[in-house]
Amino acid sequence: MKRSTLAAFRMNAKIFSAVVMVLACCSSLAAARSPKALKSLGQGHRMTSVYNFEDGTGFVADLELIKRTEIYGPDISPLRMVVRYDSDDQVHVHITDSTQTRWEVPQDLIPRPAVPTLALKGESNAAASNGRQLELSYTVEPFGFAITRTSTGECLFNSTPPIDSKTGEAGFNSMVFKDQYLEISTQLPQNNSMFGIGESTRPDGLRLMRNRTYTLWATDMAAYTVDVDLYGAYPFHMDIREGGATHGVLLLNSNGMDIYVGEDLLTYHVIGGVLDFYFFAGPSPLAVVDQYTKLVGRPTPMPYWSFGFHQCRWGYENIDDLRYVVDNYKKANIPLDTIWNDIDYMDAYKDFTFDPIRYDENKVREFVEELHANGQQYVLILDPGISVAYKNYSTLERGLKDDIFLKNEFGNNYLAQVWPGPVFFPDFLHPKATSWWTTEVADFFKKVPFDGLWIDMNEASNFCTGSACSFETSSLGTLGMLRGNDSSNDQCILRCVNGTSRFDNPPYKIDHVGTYNNLGDKTIAMTVKHYNGALEYDAHNLYGLSESIVTQKALQTVTKQRPFILSRSTFVGSGAHTAHWTGDNKATWEDLKYSVVSIINSGMFGVPMVGADICGFAGNTTEELCSRWMQMGAFYPFSRNHAAIGTDSQEPYLWESVAVSSRKALGLRYRLLPHLYTLMFEATKSGAPIVRALFFSFPDDLETLTINHQFLVGNNIMVSPVVYPGHTTVNAYVPKGTWYNLFDFSKVTSKGERFVLSAPADSINVHVHEGQILPMQEARLTSAEVKKTPFTLIVAFGDASFASASGKLFVDNGVDLEMEVRDGSSTFVQYFAERSLQSGSLVGRVISGDYALEQGLVLHNVRLLGVAMSPSKVFVNGQPIAAAEQLKYDANLASVEITGLNVAVGKDFEIKWESQESVGWASQ
């Protein structure tokens, strides 16, 4: 809509008539002040016109500044606000300059409905107004908007400042909109709980702290540095109100920002872009993640094998080191699916090359072929920086030909420095980047048929700061870095000019690590240009996401199979393309403990395939720490042991005690693979995190909001790890209900209270909650072997006289591009069970697909937990089971084990049992 058109609406008598604008929400009188907010950043805006979309899905409004200020630069006025009810559970609020186009997260990175600017006629996907769960209201002067939950009238967001009745002072600034500074606040109750906003390591736990600034700026800062901006950026949080109703708030903006969480307010201080809010109605945590991932991208399916165990280290000197590690895992009977290479394999740290001596490409290929023959995989690392120190490096030459590298302010390729020395960075926003990267990946795959790619250093990390850098060829040889096997030197050898522009040094300083007066500290200079002139200043936080997207496309093209990608830097929407690990942690008990929160947060951000470096990356681990970490890490969605160069080796077979606890914990993980894989399937459909906070399943239990060192796998498996040295018990919070230990089936019945659980050195507590049916297989040393074993169903009943349980199973070949319910290539089964005092039944219903039938998958065993009387008769599809030995009852555990079944996983079945003490089993 043009300015003139909108101006005409001012004359329109219908203006303001059709939308509710009474704002009676959150009328808190407290003066809550953000310490970062400057006083009197203007007096806000007034709404000068509003026009409703004809289809009733929202409106467009014009906002005009009331009073100019010069702090942080001149104001932008007028502004255009578009409000759209995208669906019953989502409201979109978009505010920007009404005349000039501003930077926004590009549509091709996160495809989403375009912001409508004209009256929408006729059909639309947006909801009819009577089903809306959220309602937006606004005030005209000063302008403010509020989001209310329709069912309760509770105010969820309110950008109008509260006024102190005594002093007349406003609690915070009205909305501020300048080129390099946007500020908007919301009033908050003091007793809500908020989660999310990342990425950072959180010693204080899951819940966002009050009076704390969270800074979003993708930075190569070791994850053991707590409470600072790390590799990824997520301006998304979940807000749980008294009573448990939960909503989500996303500010879809890629610029650097501080988010201040105060006692009774939350303030965004953003250094560019637009205000692009999405409010998700929930009302449960799972519903919020569902709504959020529906918008930003559902998690991409991960290959089945990637749920097996992974081993990596930086410092595997040569191919024989890898072979030695793989052999020793086997000798020690510890499962291992995938062996990894960090940068050690490369020739002088050049991407897509192998060191000709230590990692001779032919020997690597032979090794990888052996791995594949043994049902194992190989993943290796790529960094974005492309070496420019060698004249005859074809990857560089093809990149130069396609002109896909980032440009400095003079239009030349931007020079930076990473492990290979001087590099150019590919511009993954460039339309030709995909074909170039795909060619490189294809050539590389021809050399060695690897199974996945690990994309690191993509914040992007730079050993130098500044622009217009240059180097002397003579300086290259003097540093160990280019020898290809000495990575101790990360000193800058380039000569650069530190930028002084308003982008390097913007008027508002976000609280990022690094020097305040240079936003480009140890990363790409802010004045660097991406395709179409996009500034690094705006696109910085998107580098990892854009590389993930291009790498995913490349792998899909080259391997024709489901990609496995592990990215360090991530953004909103990254889960649709990549897995993530929490970065450079340290071998300390604190890091072990903090990993729980980091992993839960990643799942909440829509990146469910996540893990922390098991046993710790930096520093030397200890036997006890590594043992406890192997136990906990066995239940990370992505489970990988990884160490830094210069640290002692930490493969689990190196200590007998670690080997014992690894066999035990990984043994359970491998038995649970069908369940983990089914959770992946569910994540691709609803965003549901694989590992979750306890409050996801027990939202009515306020105590769960404070549990930071236990977690759920799916809905109903609770892991309560030991996170302190010298402990052989865990003081675990056990939400209400009956829980069964998955190792020995012992039972804990809780009213919602703490229990001291025994946790001897070789053991971790893993419990399944009543109501769950778990599909399991048999433990083997690789996931490929597990896949061939018969199934067991664990059915966990509660204590009530009538109890029920349910579960799901998804199976497919594990590598198809799609993970879909469809005929032939997959099977999806649902299980239901119920039991009264004297009888019960378990049914399997095949919802779709012939895969399980074609593969001949069979169910051999059923274990019923919580059955108080020994069954006297068991019928399988109407037939009594053949032999008494097939039925075992353990009165102590109230557990029934039915063995020797031969039921097809791919067909419907029904198992019934009766308990009649008068009728002996033997009478059959």
Ligand X SMILES: *[C@@H]1O[C@H](CO)[C@@H](O)[C@H](O)[C@H]1NC(C)=O
Catalytic site residues? 456, 459, 584
Residue with smaller CB distance to ligand X, 466 or 737? 466
Token output for 16 = 């303001």
Q: How far is the CB of 160 from ligand X (least distance, A)?
A: 16
Instruction: Based on the shown chain and the rule CB under 6 A, indicate whether residue 489 belongs to the binding site for ligand X.
Output: no
Instruction: Based on the shown chain and the rule CB under 6 A, indicate whether residue 619 belongs to the binding site for ligand X.
Output: yes
Q: How far is the CB of 183 from ligand X (least distance, A)?
A: 18
Interface size with ligand X, residues (CB under 6 A): 20
Q: How far is the CB of 323 from ligand X (least distance, A)?
A: 18
What is the C-alpha to C-alpha distance for residues 647 and 630, in angstroms, rounded to an integer?
A: 17
Planar angle of CA 382, 384, 388, nearest 5 degrees = 105
Q: Are 520 and 466 in contact, with CB atoms under 8 Å apart?
A: yes
Residue with smaller CB distance to ligand X, 702 or 904? 702
Q: How far is the CB of 264 from ligand X (least distance, A)?
A: 8
Residue in 466, 616, 735, 814 binding ligand X, rule: CB under 6 A: 466
Residue with smaller CB distance to ligand X, 243 or 760? 243
Instruction: Based on the shown chain and the rule CB under 6 A, indicate whether residue 254 belongs to the binding site for ligand X.
Output: no
The region of 216-224, 558-566, 645-653, 863-871 touching ligand X under the rule CB under 6 A is: 645-653
Alpha carbon separation from 115 to 53, 83, 186, 278 (Å, rounded): 12, 9, 23, 12
Residue with smaller CB distance to ligand X, 494 or 859? 494
Residue with smaller CB distance to ligand X, 86 or 536? 536
Instruction: Based on the shown chain and the rule CB under 6 A, indicate whether residue 320 belongs to the binding site for ligand X.
Output: no
Residue with smaller CB distance to ligand X, 481 or 734? 481
Instruction: Based on the shown chain and the rule CB under 6 A, indicate whether residue 242 belongs to the binding site for ligand X.
Output: yes
Instruction: Based on the shown chain and the rule CB under 6 A, indicate whether residue 284 belongs to the binding site for ligand X.
Output: no
Instruction: Based on the shown chain and the rule CB under 6 A, indicate whether residue 483 belongs to the binding site for ligand X.
Output: yes
Residue with smaller CB distance to ligand X, 335 or 616? 616
Binding mask 347-386 for ligand X (x = CB under 6 A): ----------------------------------------
What is the C-alpha to C-alpha distance for residues 177 and 271, in angstroms, rounded to an integer?
A: 10
Residue in 186, 219, 293, 647 binding ligand X, rule: CB under 6 A: 647
The region of 172-180, 423-431, 642-650, 665-673 touching ligand X under the rule CB under 6 A is: 642-650
Q: How far is the CB of 427 from ligand X (least distance, A)?
A: 24
From the list 212, 208, 137, the residue with the least C-alpha distance to 511 is: 212
Residue in 69, 374, 435, 485 binding ligand X, rule: CB under 6 A: 485
- DSSP lists the bridge partners of residue 823 as none
Q: Are 710 and 764 in contact, with CB atoms under 8 Å apart?
A: no
Residue in 341, 518, 574, 578 binding ligand X, rule: CB under 6 A: 518
Residue in 187, 465, 548, 763 binding ligand X, rule: CB under 6 A: 465
Q: How far is the CB of 214 from ligand X (least distance, A)?
A: 13
Neighbours of 828 (CB within 10 A): 21
- Determine if the peptide bond prior to 233 is cis (ω within 30°): no
Helices (H), 574-642: 589-604, 623-633
Alpha carbon separation from 623 to 589, 620, 726 (Å, rounded): 12, 10, 12
Q: Are 690 and 676 in contact, with CB atoms under 8 Å apart?
A: yes
Q: Are 413 and 386 in contact, with CB atoms under 8 Å apart?
A: no
Strands of the sheet with 155-158, listed across from one edge: 134-140, 143-149, 155-158
Q: How far is the CB of 30 from ligand X (least distance, A)?
A: 9
The region of 230-238, 301-309, 513-521, 608-616 touching ligand X under the rule CB under 6 A is: 513-521
Q: Are 791 and 678 in contact, with CB atoms under 8 Å apart?
A: no
Token output for 244 = 């448990």
Long-range contacts at 325-330 (CB < 8 A, ≥ 24 apart): 325/651, 326/371, 326/376, 328/651, 328/653, 329/651, 329/653, 329/781, 330/781
Token output for 443 = 């050539």
What is the C-alpha to C-alpha distance for residues 708 and 232, in angstroms, rounded to an integer?
A: 21
The region of 251-259, 272-280, 446-454, 515-523 touching ligand X under the rule CB under 6 A is: 515-523
Residue in 204, 327, 648, 753 binding ligand X, rule: CB under 6 A: 648
Token output for 303 = 């290959």
Instruction: Based on the shown chain and the rule CB under 6 A, indicate whether residue 649 belongs to the binding site for ligand X.
Output: no
Which residue is associated with the tokens 């967001």? 157
The region of 216-224, 379-387, 628-636, 646-654 touching ligand X under the rule CB under 6 A is: 646-654
Q: Residue 232 carries which DSSP code?
A: -
From the list 122, 256, 235, the residue with the least C-alpha distance to 181 is: 256
Residue in 153, 356, 646, 824 binding ligand X, rule: CB under 6 A: 646
Bridge-based pairing state of the strands 155-158 and 143-149: antiparallel
End-to-end CA distance of the chain: 81
Ramachandran bin of 132, using left for φ above 0, alpha for ψ from -120 to 50, beta for the remaining angles? beta
Tell me the backbone φ, ψ of residue 809, rounded to 5 degrees: -145, 130
Instruction: Based on the shown chain and the rule CB under 6 A, indicate whether residue 521 belongs to the binding site for ligand X.
Output: yes
Q: How far is the CB of 365 from ligand X (least distance, A)?
A: 18
Q: How far is the CB of 496 from ligand X (least distance, A)?
A: 7
500-533 exposure pattern, b = at least 16 Cβ within 10 A, e = fewer: eeebbbbebbbbbebeeebbbbbbbbbbbbbbee
Q: Are 50 and 60 in contact, with CB atoms under 8 Å apart?
A: yes
Instruction: Based on the shown chain and the rule CB under 6 A, indicate whether residue 515 belongs to the binding site for ligand X.
Output: yes
Q: Are 434 and 498 in contact, with CB atoms under 8 Å apart?
A: no
Residue with smaller CB distance to ligand X, 353 or 376? 353
Residue with smaller CB distance to ligand X, 355 or 427? 355
What is the SS3 assignment for 400?
helix
Neighbours of 662 (CB within 10 A): 31
Residue with smaller CB distance to ligand X, 522 or 835? 522
Alpha carbon separation from 225 to 201, 220, 422 (Å, rounded): 7, 11, 27
Q: Residue 717 carries which DSSP code?
A: E
What is the C-alpha to C-alpha distance for residues 238 and 156, in angstroms, rounded to an integer?
A: 11
Residue in 150, 225, 489, 498 binding ligand X, rule: CB under 6 A: 498
Q: How far is the CB of 648 from ligand X (least distance, A)?
A: 5
**Which of the residues 195 through 224 are near ligand X (CB under 6 A)?**
211
- DSSP lists the bridge partners of residue 80 as 62, 96
Which residue is associated with the tokens 């009404």? 98
Residue with smaller CB distance to ligand X, 369 or 486? 486
Residue with smaller CB distance to ligand X, 513 or 817? 513
DSSP code per residue over 685-716? HH---SEE-GGGT-TT-GGGGG--S-EEETTT
Alpha carbon separation from 132 to 83, 91, 126 (Å, rounded): 14, 9, 10
Instruction: Based on the shown chain and the rule CB under 6 A, indicate whether residue 315 belongs to the binding site for ligand X.
Output: no
Residue in 100, 125, 130, 392 binding ligand X, rule: CB under 6 A: 392
Q: How far is the CB of 706 from ligand X (least distance, A)?
A: 15
The region of 545-553, 643-651, 677-685, 862-870 touching ligand X under the rule CB under 6 A is: 643-651
Q: How far is the CB of 699 from ligand X (least distance, A)?
A: 17
Residue with smaller CB distance to ligand X, 246 or 777? 246
Binding mask 161-200 for ligand X (x = CB under 6 A): ----------------------------xxx---------
The region of 429-437, 514-522, 678-686, 704-712 touching ligand X under the rule CB under 6 A is: 514-522
Q: How far is the CB of 809 from ligand X (least distance, A)?
A: 43
Binding site for ligand X (CB under 6 A): 189-191, 211, 242, 392, 465-466, 483, 485-486, 498, 515, 518, 521, 619-620, 646-648
